[in-house]
Amino acid sequence: MFDIKSFYEAKSVEDAVAALSADPDSEVISGGTDVLIRVREGKDAGKGLVSIHNIPELKGVEMDADGTIIIKPATSFSHITNHPMIQKHLNMLGLAVDQVGGPQVRNTATIGGNICNGATSADSASTMCALNAVVVLEGPEGVREIPVTEFYTGPGRTVRKQNEVCTAFRIAREDYEGWEGCYIKYGKRKAMEIATLGCAVRVKLSEDKTVIEDVRLAYGVAAPTPVRCYEAEAALRGKMVRDASIYDLFAETALSQVNPRTSWRASREFRLQLIKELARRGLKESILLAGGNIDA
């Protein structure tokens, strides 16, 4: 039995915003795989829930005329992984969210909930940071757009206000076209596991595949929030793909922008080792996916 004060099924985004505004102690629910756990554990017990799960305009993946890919927040992980547009342009994201929980969770859990939950361990979070995704929020004061890299404010906290609804995630064409990358999740077991550390790497190579024109590196569980390592990215721009020193440079520079903690899953020291090792592995795999030849 869940201790829920009330449950309201919103008919539209505007209806959801109005319901949330009418009850300042209420919160949004979609798939419920995070919210209902918090209710059961007593953290959010006694609250009113406003469901956006059955609002049609909050589901699906589409592309704007300018090539921007729009992922709606109530889209389940399974739908994201299997969507042709994701497989063609954002396969890294599809593979990342396919590592969340088990099949039942992935059929129910939504990307909006995974991001808005604010957890640094969310598999979609570091991936969306590496994709330069933009979060679209709608509330009583209108619509606002926030880069996902600026969305998190602390453990389990984001800039989303209580009466705002996430309506979309936008990924611009220049943030996926010509890029390749991978997400590496480390856990104590291979499935049904929360990340001990998550690492997302993306690269954009020169036309002849010999130079790293651009690179992105993002982590989950390497800091209180998902984090981009901008200094590590800057250190590799213009470097030759066959330069064997780029892997250590990438990994060592990343350490200056992370702040992992010790928890029951892993010590700070072990996470620091993972941060270096996954940066190396992720960079190598991304270069190979982009068509680079790393053999000297």
Residue ranges of the domains in the chain?
59-174, 178-289
Q: Which CATH class is domain 59-174?
A: alpha beta
Q: Compute the average pLDDT of residues 217-234.
A: 97
pTM (two decimals): 0.93
Give the torsion sign (CA, 13, 19, 22, 24). Answer: negative
Q: Which amino acid is at 80?
A: I
pLDDT class for 42, splitting at 50, 70, 90?
A: confident
CATH number of 178-289: 3.20.20.140, 3.30.390.50, 1.10.1740.10, 3.40.50.1860?
3.30.390.50
C-beta contacts of 63-67 below 8 A and 24+ residues apart: 66/172, 66/173, 67/172, 67/173, 67/177
Is the pLDDT reported for residue 243 higher than 60?
Answer: yes
Q: What digits encode the pLDDT tens for the residues 71-85?
A: 999 999 999 999 999
**Cα separation of 258 and 197, whole Å?**
12
Parallel, antiparallel, or unpaired for β 27-29 and 47-51? Answer: parallel
Report d(CA 189, CA 209) in Å as an integer. 35
Q: Which amino acid is at 94?
A: G
Whether 188 shows a pLDDT value over 90: the answer reads: no
Give the span between the Cα atoms of 73 and 124, in whole angstroms: 12
Helix (H, G, I), strand (E, B) or coil at 26: coil
Name the band, by pLDDT with cuts 50, 70 and 90, for residue 144.
very high
pLDDT of residue 1: 60
Size (the chain), residues? 296
Average pLDDT for 205-228: 97
The span from the CA of 169 to the CA of 1, in Å, is 34
